[in-house]
Amino acid sequence: VQLQASGGGLVQAGGSLRLSCAASGGTGSLSFMGWFRQAPGKEREFVAARSVAWNDGSTWYDDSAKGRFTISRDSAKNTVYLQMNSLKPEDTAVYYCAARRVRPARSSVSDASIWNYWGQGTQVTVSS
């Protein structure tokens, strides 16, 4: 499975961006896709995740993303999106998409080590 992330850029505080993560090659084996981010000097942290199974609409968010970010999917395109609104300078980071074959437990979804596949990352910079 290959993941291609795109959509990052430079935006002013309060603005919006939409990130995309397109999956290819064996996507039928995936159950969950998500987004993490990593700021300079910090560990990679969980942002949001959702099921990509046809019969499971589960979506999970980190507290920092709730109410501002929305993760969605386009099954026909094997693509997951992260709509980010009301962006803050502290949202500045490289954003990575990830995918997992087996549905994770909610308690472990934020553990980067359990995710099977990773995209290359896209830079998001929010200016104050």
- Residue 21 confidence class, pLDDT cut points 50, 70, 90: very high
pLDDT digits (tens, 9 = 90+) for 67-97: 999 999 999 999 999 999 999 999 999 999 9
pLDDT for 26 equals 84
pLDDT bin (cut points 50, 70, 90) of residue 128 is: very high
pLDDT at 91: 98
pLDDT in the model for residue 55: 87
108, 51, 69, 111: CA torsion to nearest 10: 20
- Please give the structure tokens belonging to residue 25: 């090659």
> Is the distance from CB of 117 to CB of 98 less than 8 angstroms?
yes
- pLDDT average, residue stretch 28-37: 95
Residues sharing a CB contact under 8 Å with residue 89, sequence separation 6 or more, in sequence order = 13, 126, 127, 128
Q: How far apart are CA 122 and CA 120, in angstroms?
A: 7
For residue 82, give the H/E element and its range: strand 79-84
Q: Is the pLDDT of residue 47 over 90?
A: yes
Distance CA 69, CA 102 (A): 24
d(CA 78, CA 106): 23
User: Can you give the pLDDT at residue 119?
Assistant: 96
